[in-house]
Structure 1
Amino acid sequence: MENSKLKVKDLVNIGVFVVIYFLILGISSMTFVFLGMTMVKSTLALLCFALAPFVTGIILGTPVILLMAKLQKPWGFFTFGILSPILLWLSGHNSFIPAIGGILLAAIAEFVLYLGKYKSFKAMLIAYACYNIWTMLPLADILFVRAKRVKMIQKMGLALVNNVFTTPNVLLILMFALVGGLLGALLGKKMLKKYFTKAGIL
């Protein structure tokens, strides 16, 4: 039981990975979001917004899967998973939706990993794909939070925002986030194949 508890070394690893994750998340997602805001056609704008969580999920798949493989302990991923949504909220994202949603998705991912006894790649695949959904929640804000929608209208115009940020389109962006997470996890497994063998991950 003692080996299943998080130790100082584990917490340090989690902290390092959170920094890496949050920096890459910010650079990758905001690149596509800013690009989307420059588009004049709704189809291209929607594509850019959908690519934000999709590409981010692929890029971050390897480091997150590596962290899962290194920890293999209860509450390890949950501890990691809640920090980025909280950091986003503390950094000035006034809406609570991404923070609460991120914490809930981290809990779901932790539960999936628990079912896989923290050694199943299938569990890691599902857990990461579910968790990556939180990366599109700041965009969902524009649909549900009036203040965010007003700010986006000021930047993109009323017609474009009304065409892009609809319920079906937000669900489409969610699906892009889910698929990006799946592809990112698969890429992570391929890149970490030798490490997975040594760690006894099935």
Structure 2
Amino acid sequence: MDHKLQVKDLTHIGIFLVIYYILICICSMAGVLTAMAMKSALIAWIFFALAPFISGIFTGPVVILLMTKLQKPWGFFIFGIIPPILLALTGHTWIVPAGSLIFVILAEIILRLGKYKSFSAMMLAHAVFNIWTMMPLFAVILSAKMQASVVKKMGSELVSVIFTLPNIAPIIIIAFIGGIIGAFLGKLMLKKHFQKAGIV
């Protein structure tokens, strides 16, 4: 196998990146906008948590298909780090890509350990990677600018209750579970691609 990224590989990354980013925006915005409209802290938290959970499910087939086509070192890393950077460039704090880098690197390492041919590695990599989708919630805790923006939309009382480390941290697990479900959904949808790519 040629382990160097070719133009074809970069083209795949670009195409899948567009599809992935659109899905992330739709899923995340649906959850976040609904959460911000809620008056109950509990219901708002649920919708904030649903955003990364649903994102993981809907993006699973896209990410898994990319993994079957891009079985080379650094390919997934390039794909994975761009969405957080795009969020930072479109109004979010740079805390998002900085924190997301951890999960993108872990996902790349997991894929390498699975030699890019193991579905178990792909599933785990996608689940870990999907955790980055809740980094904007952590950014609200860490960034005064982001917190002020959310306070304007929800009010200081709700924000002070929801956006605390004990309340936001559990969403990591929720995002992880969404990634697992999305990966299994991808496996069901892409059985023929798995066979052709020699995924086990």
TM-score (norm 1): 0.96
2:68 maps to what in 1?
69
Q: Gapped runs of 5+ residues in structure 2?
A: none
What residue identity is the alignment partner of 2:45? L
The Cα of 1:188 is off from its aligned counterpart by 0.6
1:189 maps to what in 2?
187
Task: Tell me the alpha carbon deviations over residues 154-200 of structure 1, each in whole angstroms, 9 at most, x when there is no partner.
Answer: 11111111111121211122111111111111111111112111211
Q: Does 1:137 align with 2:135?
A: yes
Note the 1:75-90 alignment, pairs <5 A.
Answer: 75-90=74-89
What residue identity is the alignment partner of 2:192? K
Equivalent residue for 2:95, pick from 94, 97, 107: 97
Note the 1:146-161 alignment, pairs <5 A.
Answer: 146-161=144-159
Task: Tell me the alpha carbon deviations over residues 63-104 of structure 1, each in whole angstroms, 9 at most, x when there is no partner.
Answer: 0000001111111101111111111111222x1111112222
**Which 10-residue stretch deviates more, 190-199 or 64-73?**
190-199
* Mapped partners of 1:61, 1:154: distance in 2: 33
* Mapped partners of 1:194, 1:13: distance in 2: 18
The Cα of 1:121 is off from its aligned counterpart by 0.6
* Mapped partners of 2:132, 2:79: distance in 1: 13
* Mapped partners of 2:20, 2:5: distance in 1: 20
* Mapped partners of 1:148, 1:131: distance in 2: 23
Equivalent residue for 2:199, pick from 195, 198, 201: 201
1:35 maps to what in 2?
34
Task: Tell me the alpha carbon deviations over residues 29-86 of structure 1, each in whole angstroms, 9 at most, x when there is no partner.
Answer: 0111000000000110000000000001100000000000111111110111111111
* Mapped partners of 1:91, 1:167: distance in 2: 25
2:54 maps to what in 1?
55
1:45 maps to what in 2?
44
**Which 10-residue stretch deviates more, 33-42 or 141-150?**
141-150
The Cα of 1:108 is off from its aligned counterpart by 1.0
Task: Provide the aligned C-alpha RMSD in A.
Answer: 1.0
